[in-house]
Structure 1
Amino acid sequence: MARTPFIPDNLPLDISRINQLMFLRELIEANKKVAQYQVLLQNTKLPSHLLLNPVMLNEAVQSTKIEGTQVTLDEVLEVEAHSRKNNKDVQEVLNYYHALREGMDKLSTLPISTRLFKTMHLTLMSNDVRGSNRSPGEYRKIQNFIGPEGCTMDTATYIPPQPQLVDKYMSNLETYINDPQDQFDELIRTAVIHAQFENIHPFLDGNGRIGRIFIPLYLFSKKVIDYPNFFLSEALERDKHKYYRFLNDTRYNGDWNQWILFFLEAVILQANKNIRLINEVNALYNHDLDLAQSLIHSSGVKKLIDAIYQKPIFTVYTISSTAEISEATCRRYLSILESNRIVFSDGKQRFKTYYYYNLLDKLR
């Protein structure tokens, strides 16, 4: 393995580096599945924004899991509902979630650029989490290296480019993102851009997470998806050792075809999962909303069910503010829903926490 800092190729890659015949079938299938998912979202009876909060939190859980942080979706939702004390692991997940939301919001006024990367990185490293003392919001000024815990530069699996070259490589990446000057499909470009970002490794910490946040933002900016809600971390985490190996093979073996094929397979896997989720949740939403409305004859019950889809673990206080109905009315409605096994609670007399397991079981 090379013991000197890596020197990436500038983008666009020479056309000879990529053989599209190796993954043409997967490319066609990936585009078809992403399009199918978009059509499904447009036509579902479930308002798509209702699922965004828990789906984004699950993406944050999966992406930080790749980095070794072991937190469950339930734990994060309990902290968000103020029914569990926060800790640094959960805060890492919440930081990722906030960085993702910030990227989505700023995309309306900022291009995908160094300024956007640094803004999201500052949020990712806030609140005294691991790595918060490693130049948050700034590209690195020192040499770093990647490998197993306790490794040295001599035993590292990867040594990124020299720090004084980071600005130059990121400028080239930014130019390619906004004006690619090649004929590749956007999904191929997404794979190349993600790998190039990880190869440059511009930050001292958090590069993997920022690089994965960028995937839906890029696809949204190029109008491949209608909203930046197509997240790949779950599919990548499933095969994370292959993920790392194939990224490394783009560096030391120049094997871009293997990496792009793996990336497209992850897109197909995730799109299929998303399609199943939307179909199942749509059916669940219709069933449980009809049941709740048959039990509670009030227009407010729909507002409550919609709020529960945004926050499937909640307290009366957190859900009443989301649903914009009074706490007293919420308590009365929730008592009926709990009696009919639509929601479940921890049984506490005060500060009771409720769980909508019908949805949680599908998100986990």
Structure 2
Amino acid sequence: MLRRLPNSNLLLSPLRLQEAVLSSRIEGTLATMGEVLQFEAGEAPQLEARRHDIEEILNYRSALDVATRELKNRPFNLNLLLRLHKVLLSSVRGHNKAPGEFRRQQNYIGSRIGGVEQIRFVPPDWMKLEHSLSNWEKYYHSDDDPLARLALIHAQFEFLHPFLDGNGRIGRILIPIFLFEHGLLPEPTFYMSEYIEQHKEEYVDRLNDLGRVRNSWRLWVEFFLNAVTAQAQRNATTADEILRLYENLKEKFIAATRSRYAVPLLDAAFQLQYFQAGHLQWKGDPPSKQTLMIMLQALERDKILRVYRSSAGRRASIWWLPDLEGIVERRR
């Protein structure tokens, strides 16, 4: 599916943002994909808590982007892992928990029940981390079956819990970058947070059982491979829907604007979904401001674009491409 997409970076950018939203939601954020897009377009959230959530989501997406760029030039290593962690926790919740550094104290995994902290799992002593992470990195680059190896790499990372905060999100980032680096995908655009969020209880139980229950490692690998299968089918279906929407919108943009800038405008709007006219990024020479406004108004008149926020004083209008968000958010 990815190899037949004419521009996977453009068409699947909504999926990358959705992954950032869902992975952060597992850790307790509440911001939606729409709120993140609106924030990037210049619409400030009404609640300060939402702003913090959005910044965490944007950091997650930035970490994915950093990993993608780095892996095109050099293989994965522990230094890259530290860099991704630093990007993830930059200026957000957890910024005071040693971003970009492996832990030098004991941590634990727990939850608060009835006002009392319940400890579910205590990771290995931090004094053993250096040796364990070295072995983990070697196995990452071993010759075992890649999908089964990925299942074990993900589980062992969560078992080691090498950071004071952000382990879950980094563990989920490892999945697409492993598949990309080992040639199973042409781009790191395979995201598992949707499945993990929907099956969180079983996911946690399978990890907690490792080494303590008979056949627990086999059961974990089975769970992980079933998750990969189900998520691959969902991702392929969504990518196909996005591609069909793009082709449909291309015809509508050309018919509504009758302009040579119709497809470049679609590409620019498709990547942002919510945007101010001045925020659009163009390949080649951009249209004049007057031409652009005429095009946007024609698209609004034909109900292809909508005005999310009208202009007022110095505040510019925000335009919205609603159909794409509907596909990614599974709204009908």
Superposition pairs of residues 15-164 of structure 1, within 5 angstroms = 40-44=1-5, 46-85=6-45, 87-127=51-91, 129-149=92-112, 152=117, 155-164=118-127
Indicate the SS of the match to 1:252: coil
Indicate the SS of the match to 1:156: strand
1:237 has 2:197 as partner: yes
Alignment-mate amino acid for residue 138 of structure 1:
E
CA distance in 2, matches of 1:87, 1:98: 16
- CA offset at residue 266 of structure 1? 1.4
CA distance in 1, matches of 2:226, 2:130: 32
Extract unaligned runs of 5+ from structure 1.
1-39
Alignment-mate amino acid for residue 288 of structure 1:
L
- CA offset at residue 83 of structure 1? 2.1
- How many positions carry a matched residue from both structures? 318
> Which position in structure 1 is the counterpart of 2:225?
264
CA distance in 1, matches of 2:150, 2:289: 46
CA distance in 2, matches of 1:115, 1:270: 29
Indicate the SS of the match to 1:132: coil
CA distance in 2, matches of 1:135, 1:55: 30
CA distance in 1, matches of 2:280, 2:162: 40
Alignment-mate amino acid for residue 82 of structure 1:
G
> Which position in structure 2 is the counterpart of 1:13?
none
- CA offset at residue 151 of structure 1? 5.2
1:173 has 2:156 as partner: no
CA distance in 1, matches of 2:289, 2:43: 17
- CA offset at residue 357 of structure 1? 1.1
CA distance in 2, matches of 1:320, 1:309: 11
Higher relative contact order, chain-length normalized (CA < 8 Å, sep 6+) = 1
Query: Does the CA-based 8 Å contact 1:320-1:327 persist in structure 2?
Result: no
Mean Cα displacement is larger for which, 134-143 or 171-180? 171-180
- CA offset at residue 313 of structure 1? 1.4
- CA offset at residue 253 of structure 1? 2.5
CA distance in 1, matches of 2:210, 2:23: 21
Query: Does the CA-based 8 Å contact 1:83-1:315 persist in structure 2?
Result: no
Query: Does the CA-based 8 Å contact 1:146-1:156 persist in structure 2?
Result: yes
> Which position in structure 2 is the counterpart of 1:362?
327
Write the deviation string for residues 260-294 of structure 1: whole angstroms up to 9, x where unpaired. 11111211221111121122222211111112111
1:330 has 2:277 as partner: no
CA distance in 1, matches of 2:22, 2:309: 30
CA distance in 1, matches of 2:184, 2:308: 42
CA distance in 1, matches of 2:247, 2:74: 38
Alignment-mate amino acid for residue 67 of structure 1:
E
Query: Does the CA-based 8 Å contact 1:277-1:362 persist in structure 2?
Result: yes
CA distance in 2, matches of 1:119, 1:232: 22
- What is the aligned-residue identity percentage? 37
- CA offset at residue 334 of structure 1? 1.0
Alignment-mate amino acid for residue 235 of structure 1:
Y
Indicate the SS of the match to 1:345: strand
> Which position in structure 1 is the counterpart of 2:256?
295
Indicate the SS of the match to 2:310: coil
CA distance in 2, matches of 1:171, 1:319: 45
- CA offset at residue 347 of structure 1? 4.7
Extract unaligned runs of 5+ from structure 2.
none
> Which position in structure 2 is the counterpart of 1:285?
246
RMSD: 1.8
CA distance in 1, matches of 2:290, 2:189: 35
- CA offset at residue 89 of structure 1? 0.8
CA distance in 2, matches of 1:137, 1:169: 18
1:326 to 1:158, Cα distance in 2 relative to 1, 3 A: farther
